[in-house]
Amino acid sequence: MPASLEELKPEHCPILKRFPEKLAPVLAVYNLAVQVHNKLAGQFPGVLEQPELAESLARLAKAREELVTPRFKVGFLGRYQGGKSTMMNNLLGAEISGTGAGEATTSVITRLIVGKAGVDPTLALRYFTADEYVKRRNTLCEWIRIPNPEGSSEYNLIEKLKTHNPGRGSSANSRTVTPKDKPYLTAFLQSFDHPRWKTFVQSPAITESVRFKDKDTLLTHGNDEQGQTKPSQYLLLSESEIRFHTDTIDPEIELVDCPGLGSGRSVDDLLTKEYIPELNGALVFLQADSMYSTQVIEILEDLKYRFKDSLRSRVWIVVNKMDVPDRKAKLVGDTSGKTTFDLITQLESAHGIPLSQVCLGCNRIFQLAKNNGGVADRTKAMEKLDLAEPGDEKTVKGVLAKYPALDAAFEEMLKDGSIAHMRKLIREQIGPSVANEIFAQAARDAQQAASDLEYAFKECEQPANEQERQAALAWQEALSEMMIDLRVTDDGERGELFVKLIDLGSGARKALEAEFVRFANDRILNAMTLPELYERFQVDSDRMQREVDKQFESLIQSLYTEVTVKFDGKTLPPVTLPGGRDIAAMWQECRQQDRDGGPWRDRMRPCLTEDQLMRRMSEPGVCVQFDGAKYKKLILDKIRTAAQQITLAVRGRLHVRLDDLRKQVTRKLVTTKKTSR
C-alpha cells in the first residue's frame, strides 16, 4: 500500500521560510495535493500504483524536494579549459578549484559550501553506493557500445575491452567514442576489481575526510606515463564536498563545480549531465571565441528541460576569455558580419536568456585590477581586449548603446574582469531570483498534481468501462507514435513526420530564396553605395518578412494536415476526455488555433527587419568592403536561418500539442482502470 505523505510547514523549508508571504500560498497548494494523495492512498491505493499517475506523483516529489532544500545548488558549467575554475578561484579569493592547461582540471562533482569562520578548509569524499556503481558501470559500457553489461563480471568486461572496437555501428547509442574512453573504462573496472578499493563501494555510501591540500590530486583523473587514466580508489568517487569560509558568496548557496564538457573523456560529460537535475540554478561559462559549440548547445538544452523551458532567473551566462577574440572579431565580425557582441545578443533570442543575466569575463583584466588597488586602468584594460586603436572604444560603445544591459556588463569587465559584479550577483541576486522561480514552479507542479489526483479520486467510484479504456489506449498509442515520428531516434532513424517536416522546410527555404533572387539584380546591387544598400535592405526585409510569415502559416497547415490524415487513417474510436470534450474535436481546435496564429507564433516568428547590422555596415569607416555581393549573401543567410527557425518552431509546437493531448488521455486511463478499496 502506498505510504501517506507528510504535509509541509514553514520550519521544513530552511531557506524559503525567509519569504513567508510567498511561501504560505505555495505550501497551501502543496498540502492540498498531499491531502488528496493520502485520501487516495487510504481508499483506492491501487490507483497510486498505476503508471498513468507517475508523472503527477513525480511533480509532487520534485516540488517537495525544492521546497525543503537546505541550500540552493548553483552549478558552474561549461567546456573544459573554458576558465571556469580560474573564475571560481578569483570569485572566492582562494585556490579552491584546480586550474591548469591541456587536461581537464575538475573530474569529480565538487560541492563548495560556506563553512564557519576561523575553521580551515575541509575536504570530504563520498564514494558510490553499490547501485550507483552498477548504474555508472552499465552506462559507460553502453556509451562505448558493449551490449548487455548487466550480467558480466568486471573481469569479463575487462577482457572484452582488450579486443573491443567500438566502431560506429548501429547501436542505439550514437555518441562519439573518444580515444580516452576505452582506457578510462578499463581503469574504472580495474579499480572496482581491486580487493581493497572495492570495499569503498557500499550501501549506505562511505564518506571519507581527507587533507584539503590533496584536492588537486584526488579530484582529477590520475594519468600514467602514457597519459592514460590509471586505476585508483578515487575513480569510485560519487562526489566531493569542500567547506571553507568566505564572505564573497551567500552562505545559503552552494556552488557545484562540474567537470568540463568536451574534455576528451565521455565520463566528464556524463557526470555533468547527470547532475543537472539536482541543480536549482547555474552559471554557464562560454568561451568568447567559440560561444555556440555543440557542448554549449547541449548543456543549454539540458537546462531548459530541467527548468521547464525557461532559463530566466535560473541560468546566468559568463562569456569568458573576452581577450581571446581579436580586434576584427569584436569590431567587424565574421563572414556574415556578426561581431562577438552580436553573437552574445543571440542568447536572448535563441535561448530566452535576458542580457541582464550575461556577464563578460577576462582574467587578464582581473590581474590588472589586483595590481592596481582593485580597479584596472581603463586604457590598459582596453589593450588587453585588443581594442587600443583610436576610435575602437567609441565604435564598441556605439554598438553596445543599443543593449544597455550588455553595455553595463562591458563596463563591469573593464573594472576588474567582472569579479566584483559576479560576487554581488552570487551574494545578493541569485538566491532571491532562484527562490522566486522555485515558488512559481512548485506551485504549478503541486496544482497540477492536486488537479490530477482529485480528478482520479472523483472518478474512482465510477464503474470501469473497458470499451472506453480500449479507446483511450488506442489514442494514447497513436499520439505516442506521432511524437516518435517527429524526431530522429538514437540510432539515426528519421520518423515519417520528421522527414515530411524537413521536406516542407526545404521547400519553404527554396521558395523564399527564389522570391528574393527574383528582384535581386546583381548588376544593380553591385553598383549601389552603402547608404543605398541600407535603403534597399528596408524594402527587401519588409517584403521577405511577409513571405516568411506566409511560409510559416503554410508549414503549419501542411504538417498539421499530414497529422490529421494519419489520425483519420487509423479510424480511432471516439474518446471523451476529462471535462467532457471529445479528443478528435480538441485536435481540430488545436489545429485551427495554431493556423490562426497567437502569442506562440509572435514569439517564434523570425524577424528579418532588424536593421542594426545594416545600420552599422553603412556607417563610414566601419566596413568599407561591404558591397552588393555581400549584401545578397547576407539576405540569403537571413532567409535560410528564418526557414530553419520556422521549421523548428512548427515541430516544437506540434510536439507540445500532441503531448498535451497524450497527457489528457493518460488521465482518462487512470479513471477507467479497475480500482480496489
Reported confidence tier of residue 110, pLDDT bands at 50, 70, 90:
very high
| 278-281 LR contacts (CB < 8 Å, sep 24+) | 278/73, 279/73, 279/74, 279/75, 279/306, 280/66, 280/69, 280/72, 280/73, 280/74, 280/314, 280/434, 280/438, 281/72, 281/73, 281/74, 281/75, 281/314, 281/315, 281/316, 281/430, 281/433, 281/434, 281/437
pLDDT at 170: 40
Same domain (yes/no): 185, 221: yes
Task: Determine the pLDDT at residue 531.
Answer: 81
- By residue range, what is the domain housing residue 480? 466-672
Query: How high is the pLDDT of residue 305?
Result: 87
273 part of a folded domain: no
What's the mean pLDDT when you consider all of the chain? 86
The CA distance from 605 to 508, in Å, is: 14
DSSP state of 16: G
Say if residue 442 is in the same domain as residue 490.
Answer: no
Q: What is the pLDDT of residues 305-316, one digit of tens each?
A: 899 888 989 999
Is the pLDDT at 54 greater than 90? The verdict is: no
Element (H, E) at 329: helix 327-331
The number of residues in the chain equals 677
* Mean pLDDT computed over 98-115: 73
Q: How many domains does the chain have?
A: 3
pTM equals 0.72
Residue 488 DSSP code? B
Percent of the chain with pLDDT over 90: 45
End position of a domain, from candidates 400, 425, 460: 460
The neighbouring-strand residues paired with 254 are 73
Query: What are the backbone dihedrals phi and psi of residue 582, each rounded to the nearest 5 degrees, phi first?
Result: -80, 135
Query: Does 177 map to a domain?
Result: yes
Determine, yes or no, domain membership for 665: yes
**Domain end among 444, 460, 476:** 460
pLDDT for position 361: 95
pLDDT band of residue 677 (cuts 50, 70, 90) is very low
Question: Is residue 64 assigned to a domain?
Answer: yes
Q: Is residue 455 domain-shared with residue 504, that is, in the same domain?
A: no
pLDDT at residue 675 in the model = 44
Assigned domain for 581 exists: yes
pLDDT in the model for residue 222: 66
Verify that 151 and 208 share a domain, yes or no.
yes
Residues 642 and 657 reside in one and the same domain:
yes
Has residue 173 got a pLDDT over 50?
Answer: no
Q: Using an 8 Å Cβ cutoff, are 48 and 41 in contact?
A: yes
Identify the pLDDT of residue 36.
Answer: 93
Q: Give residue for cell 537571413.
A: 638
Q: Tell me the per-residue pLDDT of 527-544, one tens digit each, with 9 for 90 and over.
A: 988 888 888 888 888 899
536-569 confidence digits (pLDDT tens): 888 888 899 999 999 999 999 999 999 999 988 9
Cα gap 398→391, rounded to integer Å: 10
Residue 133 lies in a domain: yes
Q: Give the mean pLDDT of 134-157.
A: 87
Q: Are residues 53 and 152 in the same domain?
A: no
> What gap in Å lies between CA 549 and CA 605, rounded to an integer?
8
The 10s digit of each residue's pLDDT in 75-94 is 999 988 778 888 988 998 88
Q: What are φ and ψ of residue 349, in 5° steps?
A: -75, -35
**How confident is residue 102, by pLDDT bands cut at 50, 70 and 90?**
very low
Instruction: Report pLDDT for 611.
Output: 58
Backbone angles phi, psi at 152, to 5 degrees: -100, 145
Confidence of residue 454 (pLDDT cuts 50, 70, 90): confident
366: left (phi over 0), alpha (psi -120 to 50) or beta: alpha
> Would you say residue 525 lies in a domain?
yes
* Whether 508 and 529 share a structural domain: yes
For 484-619, where are the E strands, in sequence order? Answer: 576-577, 581-582
For residues 558 and 609, membership in a common domain is answered with yes
Domain boundary among 199, 222, 244: 244
pLDDT at 165: 84
Reported as a pLDDT band with limits 50, 70 and 90, residue 489 is low
Confidence of residue 463 (pLDDT cuts 50, 70, 90): low
The answer to the question of residue 523 being in a domain is yes
C-alpha–C-alpha distance, residues 465 and 483, integer Å:
27
| Identity of the amino acid at 574 | P
Answer yes or no: do 454 and 521 share one domain.
no
Q: Which residues contact 364 (CB under 8 A, 6 or more apart)?
A: 323, 384, 417
CA distances from 367 to 80, 105, 323 (A): 21, 21, 13
Number of H helices, E strands in the chain: 26, 11
Q: Are residues 26 and 174 in the same domain?
A: no
Q: Tell me what the mean pLDDT of segment 347-368 comes to.
A: 92
Residue pair 672/464 in contact by the 8 Å Cβ criterion: yes
Q: What is the mean pLDDT of residues 49-78?
A: 90
Instruction: Name the burial class of residue 198, with classes exposed (0-12), middle (13-18) and buried (19+) by CB atoms within 10 angstroms of its CB.
Output: middle
Which residue, chain included where needed, has cell 547590422? 613
Three cell numbers at 439? 515558488
pLDDT band at 676 (very low <50, low <70, confident <90, very high): very low
The mean per-residue pLDDT over the stretch 428-432 comes to: 93
Is 214 found in the same domain as 142? yes
Q: Are residues 599 and 660 in the same domain?
A: yes
What is residue 13's predicted lDDT score, i.e. its pLDDT? Answer: 96
pLDDT of 673 higher than 60: no
Q: Which residues of 510-525 are buried (b: 16+ CB within 10 A; e: fewer)?
A: eebbebbeeebeeeeb
pLDDT at position 22: 95
**204 upstream amide cis, omega within 30 of 0:** yes
* 62 within 8 A of 446, measured Cβ to Cβ: no
Q: What's the pLDDT tens digit per position in 584-605?
A: 888 998 898 888 877 778 778 8
pLDDT over threshold 80, residue 665: yes
Cα→Cα distances 108→116, 124, 197, 349, Å? 24, 12, 17, 33
Task: Please give the residue that has the higher pLDDT: either 228 or 141.
Answer: 141
Q: Give every CB contact of residue 536 below 8 A, 6+ residues apart in sequence.
A: 525, 528, 631
